[in-house]
Structure formats: C-alpha cells, structure tokens
Structure 1
C-alpha cells in the first residue's frame, strides 16, 4: 500500500511538473496609453502604430496624449484608392495597412488628438466601417475598369464618402487651451518620424539590406530591414530592455493565438493546442528555416497589428511578450485587460515585422544596417 501511494504521489508530482497552469510575473512593463477598441473596422494598423507613437511621446516627454487613430485612417484611404484605380484594379484595396502607413500619414498631414477628430458621426459611440467600405469598393471598382474612362470626380466622391462616415477633415483645433494645426501639433509632440525603422527576418532576400516585403497590405511599398532571426529577436529584447516599445505586425490565424485566454503559443505537439491555452506545454524549436517555410506556404500571413509594451515570464522561466491589442479591455473576447502574452516561440514564427526607434537597435545591428 505504501509503495502504491508513493507511486501515485510521484506520478502526480511528475504530471504537475510537466503541466502547470500559467502564473505570470512581470519582467518589464513600459508606460503606454490604455487599451481601446477598433470596433467593427480593419484598422488595427492605425491603432497599433498610434499606440506606439503615444508611448514614444510618453518616453520622450513624459506627457500622455490620446492621439486620433481615425485621423490617420481618414488620410490613408485616399492613397489606397488612388493606388487601386491607377493600377486599374490590379492592386489591393481594403481596410488593411501597415505600421509605416501611419508614419507616412503623420509625415504628410500631421497628427491630432482624439478630442479633435474622433472619426465618429451621428452620435455613434463605436466604430463600424462596414457600409463605408462597401461604398468605397463599389465606387473604386467602377472607376478602375480599364474598358471605361474613370469619372473625373471619383476622388471627390471618395472624400464625400469618408466625410459622411468619418467626419470632415480638420485644419485647426484647440488642445489644452492652445490652437494648433495638425502639423504644428506634430511638432509639439517632439516626434521625429525619420527615427523609426521596420525590421524583419526572411531568407529570400539578403540580410542587412532594406527591401519591399511582398505582402498584400504593403500597398505603399514600405521598406523593411532584414536580419537573421536570432538577431531580430535580440533587437526586440534590446529595445524593451532599454525602455522602448515596438509596433508589431503578426499572424494571428493560429488557434493558439487566443485573446480570450490572453496567450499566444506554438506547442511542440499539435495535440496540446487546446490544453496549451491554459497550461504550460513544451513549444516548438522555431528555426530560420521553419519561419521561412511557414511564410512561403502562407501559414504565416499578415493578419493583425498590435503593440509590444513589455515582457513577462511564467513559473518555469519561459519568456512572453506583453502585447497590447485593440479589441477592447472589458468584454468576453479578451483577458488580461486586453493584452495578449505572446511566447518567444510564437514571436519567432509569427511576427512579420516590428516598427521601432532606430536608437533601440543593438549597436552591431545599427552598424550593419547603416541607420
């Protein structure tokens, strides 16, 4: 009997050592603005990048400013529309975008606070671009048809649709008792938009070179700096350790990416997929080759953009990245107040790229890239 009890105890101990409920401890937590919701829109790219810029303002000035995500969206749609029509429909048009689209918008048009441009009309309290996108797509497809001449007024009609669903553009506003234009407001934030670079890791192009990544939402042909996977991860860690946040573009189509459970992992055994949402399970060894293979076979796609604002570890010492999402902070779809704890393995495999201040890069990387 004693031997039986001992065997049971040893089995229970071994099982608990192998499978444990997550217990997270903060390693690094960087100041950022509160989690908000993008609503029924595909504008995560602006929410991610705007949150990143808000954190940069906090880092450099100590001032917390709620910037308007929809101001960037309002100014990016006409660019996407032009690209689609002038390429006669042989291009991507949709709600998606990338981190550099917000940088480009801010450079061209400036920034405004949320109080100056909410992007909500007619007493709306939540974002919903469903009908707006339907109208835009119908208009643009009609004008991108190469068998007909486009309507000379098609660009004005795009702006009319945007005005109707998002509100008219603004040229002047008051913030904290002072008048600004979007450009002068950008100057007030002290942001230098030339300081930001996007880094990634793929083997179909040379390392330590910039290139245009061929993903559907890169309609503006933004440049990415390429480097080996280990170095890519080292630079994410280096940035966080130095107090810099990063804007993230990632694949979230995996069933083990779960905002509802608050985690994203890549279990070594596919049979552990469900259990790994609540229990620590061994994860895959993600190599450069596996990352490239998953990108080329479309298992890793450009799905969703978020904001990396810290690091955590579980009771076994495994590292996770604290990722700020834009699906709200208090609803049945999210845990952790709207943050997702993304494992290092998931980041290695599923992170398309990160946008970061160039001074957050490791010295060796900066030198190799020439930035």
Structure 2
C-alpha cells in the first residue's frame, strides 16, 4: 500500500511539473502610446490605425504624439453617408471601417493631436456613439426611402450638422508646443506620408500576387488589398517587427479562445479548451491556406475588430506570439496584460483578415506588385 501511495505521489508531481501554465518572455517590444478605450463605439479601426501611426511617428521622429481618433471618425462619416445615399440605402451604414479609411482621411484632412479634437460631448469622459449612429441612420433612411423623388440637396448640410452636434465642428487651427498648425501642416510635422502604407491579405479565391477589393461589409470605401500566401504573410509580419516596424491588424475576435482576460488568442487542437481554466500549454491546430479559406467562406472568420501589433513574445516552450495592442482599456478586471493580447501564430494565420504596414519594409520581390 505504501509503495502504491508513493507511486501516486510521484506521478502527481511529474504531472504537475509537466502541466505548466503559460509564461511569456519578451522577444521584441516596439514603442507605442498608452492603451486607451474606444468606449461604446465601433471605431476600433480609427483607434488601432491611429495607434499604428503614433508608433510610426515615434519611429520616424522620436516624438510621442497622442493623435485624435475622433478627428478621423468625424471626417470619415460624410464619406460613409455619401456611399449610403448614392447606393440608395442598399448597403451597410455602420460605425465600422478599415485601416485604409484612416489613411484616406489623413491624406484628405491631415492629422490633429487628441486635445485639439476630443469628439466628446460636454462633461463626457467616455465615447458613446449609439445615439448618434441611430440618428444618422434614421436621417439617411429618410432621404433614401423614396428614390423616385429628387434627392434634397440639404442632406449633406443636415448630416454635417448632426456630426457637429455629437462630435464637434472640425478644427481648422490649433497650437501645439507653442506653434500654430493646421491639420495639414501638423501632418507635415509628423512626417507621415499616407502613400507609404499598404494593406495585405491572404485568400485563395483571388490570384496571389495581385490586388483586389476585399468583399467584407466594412470595406465601404472599396479599398484594395495585395494578396499573398499565408506562409509569406507570417514572414512579412515577423520581418517587419524585427526591423522595428509595427503593424495594423484586422482580424476575427469572435472565437471563445480570444479573450482580454487572460489576454490570449490561440487555436487549440481541442475545441473545448477554456482559456480561463488553462493550467498547461496546449497544442494548436495546423492552419493551412485551404482551412483558412474554408473558415472565411463559411463565415466562421469575419471582419470583427482592428488592433495594433507592437512586438513578439514567446512561451517557455519557445512558441511565438504577437503582442497585440487592443482598444478596450487596461484598468479593468476583464482586461489582462495591461490591455495587450498575446496572439499565437496559429490564431493569426487563421483569423487575420488583413494587415497594414509601411511598404518600405517589404522585400524587393513585392515592390513590382505594389507599383
């Protein structure tokens, strides 16, 4: 009996030693601004890409500037409204968008620091666009409900008035560090060139090494994406990070194995894994191009959320994860890792919709495609 007990104790110790919970070590940690919350809005596209541009400004100039996400949102809504009106209401009108919408706004309207345009109503400390979106949608539907009648020329003016009420009037000049700027002159000050950035994707329903318009609901502006195989996408992303360039990321976060607490995103072989109960490192699925395509076409992978990749970490077994900056805040019981997510390569390969990065970091073999 004593021998049996001793064997059981030894077995328990061995199992306990092998069942190690995840422990992460930094591999690459690129500089970025603080994690903030997008509040009750669907404007992750602006928060993530603004954060991406903030890191680009740090890389290029060494200056840490908190950009206004809402200035971009304010200048993108009229474009969304135009698209909805011209399609006679036969398309989506929402607060969603993509990284290229930020770059389009930057090119057309410049940049401003956060303090110059907060987008917050008086005394508010948190963004909440639910009422504004309802009002805008109802307004635009009023203009599109009877397409047999001539469209009122006042629709643009009325739309702008609603945006002025909820987000504020567009800023024309402001002072930054004792100097007066316009949004365009401030863009010049940041050294950001919107034409330096490219969006990449990886889907086999279109030829690789060509560009195409990705048919997802939030692509209201019909942005084009350069298509490369998923294994090359991993190499592109890793190479960019190693060279000191961060990445804007569009991906699906609807999986139960993506969670802000404990701040991880993985694709376990065992589909019943609960991240909150993990006591050991689990094996992950092998992700192929065909499986990725299948999950996209059956809507298991959808365009949910945009974030910002700022580095790499590894677990104690040497497995690599992307350090992903989220926009759900960091001072909450529901958020771990100070607002960052550690995303495995398997999750990235399966659930990434697209990435946006500085095209100058790409290998020369892609330059002909981009031109």
For 1:62-85, what per-residue CA distance to the aligned partner results, in whole angstroms no more than 9, with x for missing partners? Answer: 000010000000000000000001
SS of equivalent residue, structure 1 residue 271: coil
* 1:132 aligned residue: 132
Give me the whole-angstrom Cα distance separating, in 1, the residues matched to 2:63 and 2:48: 19
With normalisation by structure 1, the TM-score equals 0.96
Structure 1 unpaired stretches of 5+: none
* 1:29 aligned residue: 29
Deviation at 1:280, TM superposition (A): 1.6
* 1:369 aligned residue: 369
- Contact kept? 1:99, 1:247, Cα under 8 Å: yes
- Where in structure 1 do 4 or more consecutive aligned residues deviate above 6 Å? none
Deviation at 1:314, TM superposition (A): 0.7
For 1:123-142, what per-residue CA distance to the aligned partner results, in whole angstroms no more than 9, with x for missing partners? Answer: 21110011100100000111
Matched, 1:282 2:283: yes
For 1:319-350, what per-residue CA distance to the aligned partner results, in whole angstroms no more than 9, with x for missing partners? Answer: 11100000111012211111111111100000
Q: Which moved more, 1:265-274 or 1:285-294?
A: 265-274
* 1:215 aligned residue: 216
Deviation at 1:12, TM superposition (A): 4.0
> Cα RMSD (Å) of the superposition?
1.5
Task: Identify if the C-alpha distance between structure 1 residues 152 and 370 changes in structure 2 by more than 3 Å, giving closer, same or farther.
Answer: closer
* 1:85 aligned residue: 85
- Contact kept? 2:250, 2:305, Cα under 8 Å: yes
Matched, 1:242 2:243: yes
Deviation at 1:368, TM superposition (A): 5.7
* 1:322 aligned residue: 323
SS of equivalent residue, structure 1 residue 163: helix
Structure 2 unpaired stretches of 5+: none
Give me the whole-angstrom Cα distance separating, in 2, the residues matched to 1:11 and 1:247: 44
Task: Identify if the C-alpha distance between structure 1 residues 191 and 278 changes in structure 2 by more than 3 Å, giving closer, same or farther.
Answer: farther
Give me the whole-angstrom Cα distance separating, in 1, the residues matched to 2:368 and 2:276: 42
- Contact kept? 1:235, 1:361, Cα under 8 Å: yes
Deviation at 1:21, TM superposition (A): 1.1
Aligned pairs for 1:113-262 within 5 A: 113-145=113-145, 146-262=147-263
* 1:97 aligned residue: 97
- Contact kept? 2:262, 2:276, Cα under 8 Å: no
* 2:348 aligned residue: 347
